[in-house]
């Protein structure tokens, strides 16, 4: 079985190219490898809070869209 890692950086640079014909638009990103940090405790805690919030929201969305069943 696999397991998760959280990779973060604060050093992302990039450009977005917009063109009237969308298929000619694009972007590029530059992320220096030396800036990557793996499994930093504070980021893991923040990600866990975010995931819990997303699960909570997903549960509410599912309940809101559930169809009542007749018994």
pLDDT tens figures, 43-56 = 888 888 777 767 77
Contact between 16 and 51 under an 8 Å Cβ cutoff? The reply is: no
Contact between 11 and 35 under an 8 Å Cβ cutoff? The reply is: yes
- Segments making up each domain of the chain, as ranges: 7-65
Using CA atoms, how far apart are residues 33 and 7, in angstroms rounded to an integer? 11
The pLDDT of residue 53: 67
pLDDT tens figures, 28-37 = 999 999 999 9
């Amino acid at each position: 079985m696999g397991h998760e890692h959280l990779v973060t950086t604060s050093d992302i640079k990039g450009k977005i190219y917009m063109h009237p014909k969308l298929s000619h638009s694009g972007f590029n990103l530059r992320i220096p490898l030396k800036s990557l940090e793996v499994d930093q405790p504070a980021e893991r805690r923040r990600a866990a809070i975010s995931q819990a919030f997303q699960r909570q929201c997903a549960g509410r969305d599912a309940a809101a869209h559930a169809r009542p069943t007749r018994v």
